[in-house]
Amino acid sequence: MNQKAQLPPIPKENKFKQALSLGIGIWDYFDEKQKELGDTYTLTFPGQGPMVWTSDPKMIQDILKLQRHQIDGSLVQLPFDLGESNLVFANNKEHENARKLVIPQFAGNILKKRADMMAKITNEHIDSWSVGDTFDAPRLIGDITMDITCATLFDLHSGERKDRYKELMLAWIMEANSDINFTLASFVGATRFRRFLNKQYMRRSRQGKMGNGKKGLLPWKRGVDLKVQLATLLREDIRDIRARDDETESHTLSFLARTRDPDGNLLDEEKVISEVYGLMIGGHETSAATTAWLMIWMLQKPEVYKKMRDEVVAFIQQEGEHDPLKTSELPYVTACLNESQRITPSAPGFIRWLREDTQIGDWLIPGGTAVLPNIYSTHRRKDIYGEDALEYKPERWITKTGGQKSFKPNQFMPFGGGRRACVGMGQAKQQMRIIFSEFARRVDFTSEFVGTTGMPKSRLVGGQVEPKDGVPVTVTAIREEDYGRQASVSAA
């Protein structure tokens, strides 16, 4: 074991080249560095501390075990102004309390109740399409998940207020995820940049200055306008909810607005707003990017998509009813998503900034360094997934008896892990499986990806890896809403 704290190998190219390579082709760069430097290496970007990326399961296990006091969440390099008390940036007790506040919203019994709504929204979208319509899959699915978000956060399903929320949320998320935001944050440091944005937002909110929501000379102006406008809607709703104090309401905003601290006080309005912003953005680009890759696999492997449809239809016929929750939990549907998240994960890694020198595997890593499990490279390890690790094979997730197979937390981690694991994982998996099981049941698509094998070039959007030029798809068939429920169907 090393006694003196030191960094694992650093690539020979300079900091700018490292940052650029990650931005324009992150997976190729990971493959290249793995070959050159092994499982564990240190990337050094301009203006920030060193980052140790590892695909060594032993090191990942140690990272997953890190305690709250060992890491500094405020250093997470996301340039989104969610408020510094948001759980993503909070530390120690504040982080623990913020998770306790939010996690009940994703409890199993609550998610079960949301399954019918998720299927209904997906089917409303499908019913609005015609054969020949063309979409960009990540944006299309982002639109569906945004409707689901309006329903879960605000219990809004249609009408002017829902449209206004949806429009503002989408626009703010796009601004927050924009390349210019990430670039500015990388120049001045993400924490400083977030605090600057938050100051602007608080000042403008106090003055009641909504702005026109248009681009201006200052690159952050539109994002601040949109946040002030959106927060104004939220403040109105929080006050209405508190005035009604209706315990039967189960949507997230109502739950947060009615929550009291141990002394019986309602949470600060800005705290409620801050957590809502986190939940709004946490699930958007992540779900869009994840399903973009899944859609490409389904287009490249029509036999897999058909098998998914056959499984869903056979199950509906066997049950005599269509329960979206149960169909979304079917082994093959689950396996298709797992396999896509394994081989083409949207999050390249997850980050822990160490406060002090810390033993991670055989390395004593210096304090002030970030350690990141490399999700992409770990998910492709042959010593975990076998000689066919680079192939898309949903069957690897199914046991000999037809049950679901799982891998260990340090082997499969598309949602991170440990004390800061994704809080929305249950909701995300459920909604993606419902969307795809409904697509498989009712819709056929074609695309330039049909008949291809390799994956397209990628780019980073809001920290997520997405196909560089999107995933254009054209609808070639739409089956009836009750397809599969009829006594017998001849699978198309």
Min dist. Cβ of residue 253 to ligand HEM (A) = 13
Give the closest residue to 358 by CA, choosing from 60, 66, 31. 66
- Give the residue with the Cβ less far from ligand HEM, 222 or 429: 429
Q: Are 445 and 474 in contact (CB under 8 A)?
A: yes
> DSSP alpha helices (H): ranges in 347-475?
375-378, 382-385, 425-442
Reading the block at residue 413, the tokens are: 């981690």
Name the residues that contact ligand HEM, by CB under 6 A: 87-88, 99, 278-279, 282-283, 286-287, 290, 346-347, 350, 414-418, 420-424, 427-428
Find where tokens 């997520």 sit.
Answer: 464
Cα–Cα dist 40/374, whole Å: 9
Comparing C-alpha atoms, which of 120, 118, 137, 117 is closest to residue 481?
120
Least distance to ligand HEM from the beta carbon of 206, Å? Answer: 27
Q: How far is the CB of 418 from ligand HEM (least distance, A)?
A: 6
What is the C-alpha to C-alpha distance for residues 380 and 434, in angstroms, rounded to an integer? 26
- As a whole number of angstroms, the distance between CA 136 and CA 139 comes to 6
Nearest distance from C-beta of residue 461 to ligand HEM, angstroms: 13
Instruction: Provide, rounded to whole angstroms, the least separation between the CB of residue 347 and ligand HEM.
Output: 4
By beta-carbon proximity to ligand HEM, the closer residue of 417 and 484 is 417
- Report which residue type is found at 75: L
Q: What stretches of 131-230 adopt beta strand conformation (E)?
A: 134-136
231 vs 313 by CB, closer to ligand HEM: 231
Question: Nearest distance from residue 164's CB to ligand HEM, in Å?
Answer: 20
CB-nearer residue toward ligand HEM: 428 or 489 = 428
Nearer to ligand HEM, 223 or 462 (CB): 462
Closer of 190 and 347 to ligand HEM (Cβ): 347
DSSP assignment of 292-310: HHHHHHHHH-HHHHHHHHH
